[in-house]
Structure 1
Amino acid sequence: MLPPPNVTGTLHMGHAFQDTLMDILVRVHRMRGEETLWQPGTDHAGIATQMLVERQIVQEGGDRHQMGRSAFLEKVWEWRHASGGHITRQMRRLGASCDWSRERFTLDSGLSQAVTEVFVQLHDEGLIYRGKRLVNWDPVLRTAVSDLEVLSEEEDGFLWHIRYPLSDDSGSLVVATTRPETLLGDAAVAVHPDDPRYASLIGKTLRLPIMGREIPVIADHYVDPEFGSGCVKITPAHDFNDYQVGQRHHLPLINVFTPDARIRDSLEIFNSAESTPAEEIPSALRGLDRYAARKQILAQLESEGLLVQTDAHKLMVPRGDRSQAAIEPYLTDQWYVKVAPLAEPAIKAVEEGRIRFVPENWNKTYFDWMNRIEDWCISRQLWWGHQIPAWYGPDGHIFVARHEEEAHSQASRHYGMPVVLERDPDVLDTWFSSALWPFTTLGWPEKTLDLARFYPGSVLVTGFDIIFFWVARMIMMGLRFMDEVPFQEVYIHGLVRDAEGQKMSKSKGNVLDPIDLIDGISLEDLVAKRTRGLMQPQMAAKIEKSTRKEFAEGIPAFGTDALRFTFTALATQGRDIKFDLKRVEGNRNFCNKLWNAARFAMIQVPEISLLHGERELMAPERWIIGRLQHCEAVVNTAIDQYRFADAAHALYQFFWNDYCDWYIELCKPVLREDSPFTAAQQCGTRNTLLRVLEAGLRLLHPVMPFISEELWQRIAPMLDKGGSSIAVAPYPIADLQRVDPEADADTEWLINAIRAVRSVRGEMDIPPSKLLPVLLQGGVARDRTRAEHYQPWLFALARLSSLEWLSDSEEAPRPLCNCWEI
């Protein structure tokens, strides 16, 4: 199953790596004759798409709010039809062999109906509800965002120490905070229950600076007595940890900000134990941006003698990955999925082995997340997406229905007469529709043939970062609506990092575009690409300098196959990938070597008739056939066990070392014009040369589909084989009975003898054009027999003028240039 990429996206190295591994699996199983479906599609990417189109509208002098929702959505659909297929075209460039006739989009009408059906059913069961809770709030986009859309990085900040007077003026507490602007919403000050400094103050009240209202001193184990003063301001409506403390102590939730993170005119108070009237905020602060309000509040505290000290402080700042705005924990009404009842069977499915994580250590991560799972916020304050199927009556009563007519029918029964309904303007989190992908793409809620044939899937290949956001939710939804897990195995791959192990990011200037590696890119174009659209424009000069140093000549074209082989060779279980262009260059050379080897093989058969007739397979032929069987065994086992790097290593060793470096060399003395070999021996060599190559190309095809297809279409017809594509030719399965130990031993002896003579040449700097007399001594009878039998190969490939075997009593002539053991 293909994780649907964002429709706004472009192929990055993570996509290319992941898609390569999935494509290998799909191609292997397809060639084995198994019914195979790799379902393609794209995600509507709510925030990303809305931002992109909204920017275009602003550039054209428009405004989406003036346009209205309907006109804006028409504009988004226009963009989708014109530009939304870019990433899938790039995936085809990479060789992804999906069933493109089945391509889906998460906002397709069929999928949208399925999403609505799931929402209604879960709501009717009490598993979807509307509630007021803290969420990650992006004040620029003015919407809730998921944890995955929040990036936290360390930044320079300050720790301000503020004095809170006791209500009876008998003393004060000093509170350390990084966010004085939220002081207006403080509901308490907390100390550790075992901190002797403050034991006598627990239960007393403080006078909140600026606002003047009384707040309690409470004791909670959340407080770290070693941090700052050991006193913590508790602002339940503006901090996730404070929210938990507030729930334990039944504190009011006091909202200070508007949706765009400005100071409200008056406080918004919820969940108070007692009815609390709305409290007005000082006029000097109203409407100020949160950071402007911070300055104003600090200035007022200082003027009142309540700002004790200011310390430089490193802190983690959560920012929206799209807007780069600091995320605000914000109290809003949102829609939630009650996930605990759904999580229980999903945990059990992995415990019972119905789903297996590879590598196995990811089981622990899965269980850790699932056992502390919280309700899932599924609403977003956007226009682009699946609009929530809920309508509000005149008194705010909610009607959840499959369509507006059904909602009106419910309302008429509820009110006893027709009423005007207003639809909820929010849309669903894109992860909601993605969680349904395994079965909705196959036609659910209808009981289709595809659903029966392809659900559950076999394997999901994905990164560890979305185990909770996507994998776990697919398992929960699959079990709830299909009563079956969506897949049996989940292969978790590592991250693609740069050659130094650094995470690739545009801000670091170390991003590589896989299409640039395939096609090549000039230095100037690469510099322009890396420095365009930076969130921190001041980094452009540094990025340009490092790019010019690392890629002085730009990036050459390596081709798709070299890139895919590199990804495969680097795919070691449980490890991130250090991506080095030198590896791609080496694998481009591998492609060239393979091409030249195939060209040599075809040249040796100028007429097809030379492949017919009596055949005799000599030791080198039986040896290379055996080497192929070993390679087939290793590759099949490795792929079945998701050991992609092992498969790539076996393929490389077979083609480069066994076939190209040695078997082709061993063929040359047999196939030359003045060959002493018989016609049957030559026929056997020609057939083996081509047949081993043809089978090897089929074995290699899932990893390097383009060169293998091109060469196979030329070679297979010479052997009376062929077909529409190598992609549907049988995948080679090892037959270890074809391994000939005697031929292996003889050929390895021959290779070692040739290698030894060549080594002497190298040590003595003797050119290959000079024929060498060789004397042999020692050994056993089998060595003498081999030396005699394999003279044609030894003389031709070791470039010998003579070969003489001395008796044990004879003394070798002096000076002896060198000696070796065979």
Structure 2
Amino acid sequence: MKELDKKYNHKDVEKNKYSKWLKEKIFEAEFNSKKPAYSIVIPPPNVTGKLHLGHAWDGSLQDLLIRFKKLNGFDTVWIPGMDHAGIATQAKVEERLREQGISKYDLGRDKFIAKVWEWKEEYAATIRSQWAKLGLSLDYSKEKFTYSDELNQIVNYVFVKMYEDKLIYKGKRIINWDPKQKTALSNIEVIYKETKGAMYHFKYILSDNQKDFLQVATTRPETMFGDVCLVVNPKDKRYSKYIGKTVINPSNKALIPVITDEYVEIEFGTGVMKCTPAHDPNDFEIGLKHNLEQIVVMNDDATMNDLAQEFQGLDRFEARKQLIAKLTKEGTFIKKEEIVHQVGYSERSNAIVEPFISDQWFVKMKPLAKQVLDLQKSKEAINFYPNRFNDTLNKWMENSHDWTISRQLWWGHQIPAWYHKDTKEVYVGITPPKDEQNWERDSDVLDTWFSSAFWPFATMNWNNKKQSEMMKRYFPVSTMVTGYDIIFFWVARMVFQSLEFTSSKPFKDVLIHGLIRDEQGRKMSKSLGNGVDPMDVIEKYGADSLRYFLLTNSSPGQDLRYSEEKLTSTWNFINKIWNASRYVMLNLKKIPTNLEFEKLLVKANEVNNQIDFWILNRLSETKKMVKEAIEKYEFTVAGKLLYNFIWDDYCSWYIELSKAQVGENSLLNKQEKQFSQSTLGYVLKNILIMLHPFMPFVSEEIYQSFDLQSSILKERWLDKKYQFKILTVDHIFEIVNNLREFRANQNIKNAISLNIHFNLKKSKFKSIIEKGISYINIFVEKLVNCKLDISIIDDKDLTSIAIKDYFLDISNKDFFDKDKAIQETQDKINELLLEIDRSEKMLANENFLKRAAAEKVLAEKEKYINYKKQHELLVDKLNELKKEKA
């Protein structure tokens, strides 16, 4: 075997591993194998820049699943890809061009798009290098891009088909408008922030009574030029006399009616609402209901148009100031109330979003949402982890509004619609109209989420004519991993588009994770300057440390707090594994294969290989529990089980105990010693297999030293169940722990050898101890420098240590303090009384006896019996000590 370096160095360990995996094509799907299939498609990161810590978390979760399934005998495929991210990428490229003194209009559409492609290639290479650093087991032979020619063909087909099926239409509706980018936005591209603002109150004077008025409050006075009426609740008696009358709009002196609608809340504000259908989504719905005029008072850059009269050309906020000043002079401005309210900002430009009526393309959501709701009520429902997010999906689908899919951008899938230059007729088709010179193509592109909605089947070579071979084997996707913040914006859309075009759900399971926050619990952001670059973390701690931290510090659906302290702790854990592996390899000539180990196991000694049997039992128990936890997506639970087994059972106990078995002075014969050495290596190999999905680099590095297969990924997860009868191991642990504690309390140096005598008078373990005394002595001598004897000590001046239902007697002679012994014995009696009291209450509790598992009840009864025996013996011992002192 190759010897490991003396010190663990994550940079050396992680170097060149990924290229080796790719060279061996170890991540590529085994399409023609008879193995069960398991598939994941990556949530495609935007080609806007580098991956952040959230991407590292998302990728680590998926990589764990792929490696775990591969080790468990599955044919796995993880399809990589990236998203062209329309508005976000265009904004980045425009910003770069502005720094060079160039605008997109200087270049024109085609040359600008060429510049965006250059950006895409640059950042796609960066993203792939980051995937490599993280060790993501992606099958690059199947990589996709949401703006490729292949995806464009799917997008065009889907758009045309949905248009023909009346699921897509063009019309005027209120949308989120970015006045800086001059494009419609999806809801996810709008970030709501608490913002200082004001509620402005105005008089709308009655046209037939100049002394009477209705008081109206608004946060956006500049939209008053688009008011078409005032609205009151029909049940509001305060305003019943005004219904049907007209009032004077203070902004432009237009006469507008007072109408009724139950939408208006009687108790909210003044109970009178101005209605501006072209500039507010709720007003728009009221406008449709009452057939009201839609008056647009702004340009697409949020400056005021000619309907704003003398304020034409002013920015909306400047127009607001000047309008208030004017109406103050005219006496129609009443007051201003300072408020803090939620205001929508464009995610990319940070401009305040303007609700704006616009002629856009929409997806009709009601029939599509029904498909999702019907699926989630059926036996074929998609499984959400945690399940509460299924309710989130359903609520969003129940309240879904038609989806704006057109964007006023150049980068993206151009809408396959043409308008006749003369007749204005609309043509929608996959190919242009025959007399194309007479038609003008729609210049808008589609929302990025529209093309991303096909991702699960588009990545599997879907076409509308027949099911692809990829889809037959790997679709629906086995697990979709994503954050809770895009359930509606992406997950829901993938579901209804898949149902619509493949008649199948897109995935079986959806694993939801949260957001990564800083150590104070704040969301990471550029404005706070609290972001963490995953590549910086890898440089300092290694990818294995970062991955293990990300994977084992949050439950599904919960946010995760970044912690430098936990990363340090994880690095130390890996260092512990490294040093343990070095010890094992120094004591072995080779690591046994599974078959070689099973042959040795048949000849193992029932008495003298108890420690080996114990660790094998713990190994199979741990592997079973870790596997169950991973299959439930409970990675934190799996990580804790692994940590405890490796640190406590294997390193702290088994390796220490093995030193007494495989060392030069071992009392084991050659065959027993060989089995113990083989167990040491066999368990380590299986530890590495369990660790591999969490820590791929270091587990591969140590495994490669074994000279077995070319990669640990060619190994298999141990499903063998070991249930050896263990008689002496628990006694060894308790004896060693108690003698260590005894030495510490009495300040007895480990160099001083102690003679210990068993007092087994009333013990049910008498025959086990007598039979295994020489085996137990191996470890007690090695670990605590004590010699055990089953003969009864002929000395009344002694100290007794209670173990289970027997004592270890030690002659006091040179070190014993009777007063201290009396106090310690009394303390132990007091502790036992508390345990006896607790146990009695539990066993008297009918709920516990009825509901607890039978094994748990039996275990509690056995504890109680042992406590009573120990108490009786300790009381006798206390009385003897007191007599001796007297």
The reply to whether residue 766 of structure 1 matches residue 776 of structure 2 is no
Query: Which of 415, 422, 428 is residue 400 of structure 1 equivalent to?
Result: 428
Q: CA deviation at 1:42?
A: 0.2
Q: CA deviation at 1:746?
A: 1.9
Partner Cα distance (2:286, 2:71) in 1: 58
Matched letter for residue 72 of structure 1:
F
Which moves more between the two structures, 590-599 or 445-454?
445-454
Structure 1 residues 106-505: aligned runs within 5 Å: 106-168=146-208, 169-266=210-307, 281-282=308-309, 284-354=310-380, 355-394=382-421, 395-404=423-432, 407=433, 409=434, 420-445=438-463, 447=466, 448-505=468-525
CA deviation vs aligned residue, 1:294-335 (integer Å, no higher than 9, x gap): 011001110101111111111111101111110000111111
Q: CA deviation at 1:209?
A: 0.7
Partner Cα distance (1:492, 1:204) in 2: 55
**Cα–Cα, structure 1 residues 167 and 706, in superposed 2: closer, same or farther, change >3 Å?**
same
**Cα–Cα, structure 1 residues 76 and 454, in superposed 2: closer, same or farther, change >3 Å?**
same
CA deviation vs aligned residue, 1:659-717 (integer Å, no higher than 9, x gap): 111110011011222222211121011100001111121111111111111111112x2
Partner Cα distance (1:608, 1:76) in 2: 53
Aligned to 1:657: 648
Report if the CA contact (8 A) 2:480-2:509 is conserved: yes
SS for the counterpart of 1:176 is strand
Partner Cα distance (1:338, 1:164) in 2: 38
SS for the counterpart of 1:467 is helix
The reply to whether residue 36 of structure 1 matches residue 76 of structure 2 is yes
Aligned to 1:599: 582
Q: CA deviation at 1:795?
A: 0.8
Partner Cα distance (1:450, 1:312) in 2: 60
Aligned to 2:551: 568
Matched letter for residue 687 of structure 1:
S
Query: Which of 509, 512, 531 is residue 529 of structure 2 equivalent to?
Result: 509
Partner Cα distance (2:48, 2:192) in 1: 23
Q: CA deviation at 1:592?
A: 0.4
Partner Cα distance (2:457, 2:485) in 1: 22
- Structure 2, unmatched stretches of 5+, are 1-40, 799-810, 829-866, 871-886
Partner Cα distance (1:731, 1:592) in 2: 23
Structure 1 residues 19-58: aligned runs within 5 Å: 19-58=59-98
Aligned to 1:793: 779
The reply to whether residue 18 of structure 1 matches residue 1 of structure 2 is no
**Cα–Cα, structure 1 residues 119 and 501, in superposed 2: closer, same or farther, change >3 Å?**
same
Q: CA deviation at 1:809?
A: 9.5
SS for the counterpart of 1:257 is coil
Matched letter for residue 579 of structure 1:
Y
**Cα–Cα, structure 1 residues 799 and 55, in superposed 2: closer, same or farther, change >3 Å?**
same
CA deviation vs aligned residue, 1:272-295 (integer Å, no higher than 9, x gap): xxxxxxxxx32x200000011001
Report if the CA contact (8 A) 1:8-1:84 is conserved: no
Partner Cα distance (2:554, 2:628) in 1: 15
Report if the CA contact (8 A) 2:728-2:776 is conserved: no
Report if the CA contact (8 A) 1:334-1:379 is conserved: yes
Partner Cα distance (1:30, 1:489) in 2: 18
Matched letter for residue 53 of structure 2:
M
SS for the counterpart of 1:256 is coil
- Measured on the aligned residues, the alpha-carbon RMSD in Å equals 2.2
Q: CA deviation at 1:593?
A: 0.5
Matched letter for residue 310 of structure 1:
K
Structure 1 residues 100-111: aligned runs within 5 Å: 100-111=140-151
**Cα–Cα, structure 1 residues 473 and 711, in superposed 2: closer, same or farther, change >3 Å?**
same
Query: Which of 704, 712, 718 is residue 726 of structure 1 equivalent to?
Result: 712
Aligned to 1:539: none
Q: CA deviation at 1:803?
A: 4.8
Partner Cα distance (1:574, 1:63) in 2: 43
Matched letter for residue 761 of structure 1:
R
Q: CA deviation at 1:498?
A: 2.4
Matched letter for residue 459 of structure 1:
T
**Cα–Cα, structure 1 residues 105 and 183, in superposed 2: closer, same or farther, change >3 Å?**
same
Partner Cα distance (1:802, 1:619) in 2: 18
Query: Which of 723, 731, 737 is residue 739 of structure 1 equivalent to?
Result: 723
Matched letter for residue 760 of structure 1:
F
Report if the CA contact (8 A) 1:457-1:488 is conserved: yes
Report if the CA contact (8 A) 1:478-1:485 is conserved: yes
CA deviation vs aligned residue, 1:396-453 (integer Å, no higher than 9, x gap): 211112122xx2x2xx5xxxxx752111110000001100111112112164321222
- Structure 1, unmatched stretches of 5+, are 267-280, 413-417, 520-556
SS for the counterpart of 1:385 is coil
CA deviation vs aligned residue, 1:551-610 (integer Å, no higher than 9, x gap): xxxxxx221111111122123134222332222211111100000010000000257899
**Cα–Cα, structure 1 residues 609 and 362, in superposed 2: closer, same or farther, change >3 Å?**
closer
Q: CA deviation at 1:90?
A: 1.0
SS for the counterpart of 1:85 is helix
* Larger gyration radius, structure 1 or structure 2: 2
Report if the CA contact (8 A) 1:263-1:290 is conserved: yes
Q: CA deviation at 1:68?
A: 0.7
**What's the TM-score, normalizing by structure 1?**
0.88
Report if the CA contact (8 A) 1:345-1:476 is conserved: yes
SS for the counterpart of 1:443 is coil
Report if the CA contact (8 A) 2:588-2:678 is conserved: no
CA deviation vs aligned residue, 1:162-193 (integer Å, no higher than 9, x gap): 11101112510111111111111111222233
Partner Cα distance (2:529, 2:629) in 1: 35
Partner Cα distance (1:604, 1:489) in 2: 45
**Cα–Cα, structure 1 residues 609 and 478, in superposed 2: closer, same or farther, change >3 Å?**
closer
**What's the TM-score, normalizing by structure 2?**
0.82
SS for the counterpart of 1:37 is strand
Partner Cα distance (2:773, 2:191) in 1: 69
Q: CA deviation at 1:775?
A: 4.1
Aligned to 2:831: none
Partner Cα distance (1:247, 1:44) in 2: 36
**Cα–Cα, structure 1 residues 574 and 6, in superposed 2: closer, same or farther, change >3 Å?**
closer
Report if the CA contact (8 A) 2:156-2:416 is conserved: yes
Aligned to 2:667: 676
Partner Cα distance (1:219, 1:627) in 2: 74
Partner Cα distance (2:189, 2:795) in 1: 82
SS for the counterpart of 2:175 is strand
Aligned to 1:691: 682
Which moves more between the two structures, 307-316 or 608-617?
608-617
Partner Cα distance (2:243, 2:132) in 1: 66
Q: CA deviation at 1:226?
A: 3.4
SS for the counterpart of 1:84 is helix
Q: CA deviation at 1:221?
A: 3.0
Report if the CA contact (8 A) 1:776-1:804 is conserved: yes
SS for the counterpart of 1:391 is strand
Report if the CA contact (8 A) 1:7-1:42 is conserved: yes
Partner Cα distance (2:471, 2:326) in 1: 66
Which moves more between the two structures, 224-233 or 637-646?
224-233
Report if the CA contact (8 A) 1:491-1:642 is conserved: yes
Q: CA deviation at 1:86?
A: 1.6
